[in-house]
Amino acid sequence: TQLLEQSPQFLSIQEGENLTVYCNSSSVFSSLQWYRQEPGEGPVLLVTVVTGGEVKKLKRLTFQFGDARKDSSLHITAAQPGDTGLYLCAALSNDYKLSFGAGTTVTVRA
């Protein structure tokens, strides 16, 4: 059983459309991270959210941490082909182990 559940597993949209990816857990976290991974490369950190209810923006990407710090979402506005990739959420446990969700594969068609 995954500590972090991501949905959907796959998402294919047309350029210019919006999309939202979800990361849910029954556990409370002190922080949550979102990574993006492109084929043949390692994941790259996009953002860390720390405070319940926090919203962070990174250009067309909006990240939100749930009020109870158990869930998070990633929203992409006007998606572009360059947004294509695997999006992973991750959270640190009390013993400093980082757990990852299974990931959402996003494909943006031109």
Partner 1 sequence: NAGVTQTPKFQVLKTGQSMTLQCAQDMNHEYMSWYRQDPGMGLRLIHYSVGAGITDQGEVPNGYNVSRSTTEDFPLRLLSAAPSQTSVYFCASSTRLEPDTQYFGPGTRLTVL
State the residues that interact with partner 1 by CB under 8 A: 2, 6, 9, 31, 33, 40-45, 48, 88, 90-92, 96-103
Taking the CB of residue 98, how many other CB atoms lie within 10 A of it?
10
In the complex, the smallest distance separating the C-beta of residue 9 from partner 1, rounded to whole angstroms, is: 7
Joined tokens for residue 78: 């006007």
Tell me if 95 sits within 8 A of 106, measured CB to CB.
no
Q: Specify the residue, 50 or 78, whose C-beta has the smaller distance to partner 1.
A: 50
Q: Which of 86, 91, 84 is CA-nearest to residue 103?
A: 86
Q: Specify the residue, 38 or 67, whose C-beta has the smaller distance to partner 1.
A: 38
In the complex, the smallest distance separating the C-beta of residue 106 from partner 1, rounded to whole angstroms, is: 15
